Amino acid sequence: MQITRQADYAVRAVLHLARLGSTAQASTAHIAKSEGIPVHFLAKIVSQLTQADILRTTRGARGGVSLAHPPEDLSLLQVVEAIDGPVELNVCVLHPERCPEGSTCVVRPFWQEAQAILVENLAGARFSRFAHDGHPVELVPAG
């Protein structure tokens, strides 16, 4: 399983906002420039993350993008699934009826266990954990 570039950009955008603080706003242009994300691509990502109740957008001169919840309440799993859909190591894990081996597949239980571990790890990885690691982010007004 490999997350899409779009999901990677989404994680970077949410992390950027988490580093600014749970109540801070930033413009999409600032986030895009700081994180090396194409602006037009980020606009689509922000829309998806807003629909998933991960981000909040405010229009106007003092508008911008902010976290909809504190970083400790947001997980990598939420962001990845908001962009890529459910984590799925193998199609048979979520859709056993699609497996040509059916109920005789001896590997399926291992795929299920591996996926459960991955989902649990992603769900437990909160943005507050990463917000203070690495480089600090410059606070720039959203407008």
For the segment 1-56, what is each residue's pLDDT rounded down to a tens digit?
Answer: 789 999 999 999 999 999 998 788 999 999 999 999 999 999 999 999 999 999 99
Q: At what angle do helices 28-35 and 39-51 cross, to 10 degrees?
A: 120
Q: How buried is 6 (Cβ within 10 angstroms: 0-12 exposed, 13-18 middle, 19+ buried)?
A: middle
Domains and CATH numbers, the chain: 5-131 (1.10.10.10)
Q: What does the pLDDT read at residue 48?
A: 97
Q: What does the pLDDT read at residue 136?
A: 47
**Quick check: 143 pLDDT over 50?**
no
Per-residue tokens: 3: 């997350």
Q: What does the pLDDT read at residue 133?
A: 67
Q: What does the pLDDT read at residue 140?
A: 42
List b or e across 110-126, with b for residues whose CB sees 16 or more CB atoms inside 10 angstroms: ebbeebeeebeebeebb
**Quick check: 105 pLDDT over 70?**
yes
Hey, how many other C-beta atoms are within 10 angstroms of the C-beta on 97? 7
**Quick check: 106 pLDDT over 90?**
no
Q: What does the pLDDT read at residue 142?
A: 38
Q: Which residue has the tokens 């040509």?
A: 100
Residue 51's nearest CA partner among 88, 87, 78 is 78
Separation of alpha carbons 46 and 50, rounded Å: 6
**Quick check: 132 pLDDT over 80?**
no
* pLDDT tens digits, one per residue of 55-100: 999 988 778 999 999 999 999 999 999 999 998 888 888 887 888 8
